[in-house]
Amino acid sequence: MPSDWIWLGIVVLVALIFDYINGFHDTANAIATSVSTKALSPQRAVMVAAVLNFVGALSGTAVASTVGKGIVLPQDITQEVVVAGLLGAICWNLITWLSGIPSSSSHALIGGIVGAAVAGFGFGSLIWEGLEKIILVLIISPVVGLISGYVIMSILFFVFRRGSPMRVNEIFRRLQVFSACTMSFSHGSNDAQKSMGIITMALVSGGVLTEFHVPLWVILSCATAMALGTAAGGWRIIKTMGGKIFKLEPINGFAADLNSSLVILTASHLGMPVSTTHVVSTSIMGVGTAKRIKAVRWGTARSIVMAWILTIPLSAVISAFLYKIIMLIV
C-alpha cells in the first residue's frame, strides 16, 4: 500500500492535471466570442487568456475554502476519495471535450468528490448544508447570466440605436480586447481556486497542515497548470461557444464577455464556486434573445443544458466506480 507521502504526491499531480485540462477545456469561456468576431486572432486570444488566467488565479482563496471545507466531512476525506473524485471529473471533462460540448468542470469536480465520498463512506459523509449552497449557486448563476446578458445587450442596443452598424461593430471589436481580458481574469479567479481547495483539503487530511489555509506553492502551482492548459487551447468547444449558439457580432461578444466577467467576479469575491461555462453560455443566450428569440439556436442550447443536467450524476457515478477500483488495487 502506498505511503501517505506517495498518496499526497498522487493527489497533487492529479489535481494539477485536472487544472490543466480545465484550462484547455474552458479556454472557450474567455475567448470564443472575440475569436468568432475576429477581434483577436486565435493564437493571440489564447495567449491573452493564458496570462490573465494565471493572474486571476492569484487574486484570492475564498472559493478554495468553500470547495475544500464545504462538501465532505473532514474525517471522511481520504486520499483515495480525493484521487477518485479528481479522476472522475477528468474523465467527464475529456468526454465532453471530445464531443465539443461546453460542460461544467465545476459540476464535474463537485460530482466527482461527492460520488467518491459516498462510495467510500455513504451519504452521511456529505456536508448537506454546504453542498446545497454550492449547488444552489451553480444553478442560480446561469439564470443571472441569462437575465443580465439580456439587460446589458438591450441597453447597448438602445444607446447605439442610431449608430452606423459598421462603425458600431468597429468600436466594439476594439472593446472586445478589454472584455476578453476581464473574462480571462475572472475565469482564473474562480476555476483555479477549485483545485487549490482540493489540494489543501488533501494536505489537511494527510496531516501536513493543521488547519485549512492555502499555501503559496499550491496557489502558484494551480495558477501555472491552468495557464498552461489555457495556452494549449480548446478549439472544439470554441467552435460551439463562438457560433453554434448565436451568430455573434462584436457588440454582442462584448456584452456577453462583460456580463459573464461581472457575474463570475462577484461570485469569486463572495467565495462561491460557479460554472464559468454555464455563465458564459447563458450570457450568450441572453444577448441573442435581446436581438430576437429566434436568433438563438435553441437546439444547440438544449444539448448544452442536457450536458449540464447529466454532469453531476454521471461524474459521481464514474468517480464511485473508480474509487472501488482504487480500493481493490491498494
Domain ranges of the chain: 4-329
Angle between helices 165-205 and 250-269 (to 10 degrees): 30
Q: Tell me, what's the pLDDT at 242?
A: 47
Lowest model confidence (mean pLDDT) among 146-155, 220-229, 282-291: 282-291
What is the pTM (predicted TM-score) of this model?
0.84
Return the pLDDT at 321: 96
Confidence band for 244, pLDDT divided at 50, 70 and 90? low
Q: What single letter denotes the amino acid at residue 135? A: I
Give the dihedral sign, CA 23/27/28/30.
Answer: positive
pLDDT digits (tens, 9 = 90+) for 260-310: 999 999 999 888 888 887 888 888 888 888 877 776 666 666 766 777 788
Tens-digit pLDDT profile for residues 34-75: 777 777 777 787 788 888 888 988 888 888 888 888 888 888
Is-contact 296 153, C-beta < 8 A? no
**What nine digits make up the cell of 167?**
462603425
> What pLDDT is recorded for position 28?
61
Cα separation, 270 vs 149, in Å, equals 21
How far is residue 116's CA from residue 137's CA, in Å, rounded to a whole number?
22
List beta partners, residue 246. Answer: 296
Rg, C-alpha atoms of the chain: 19
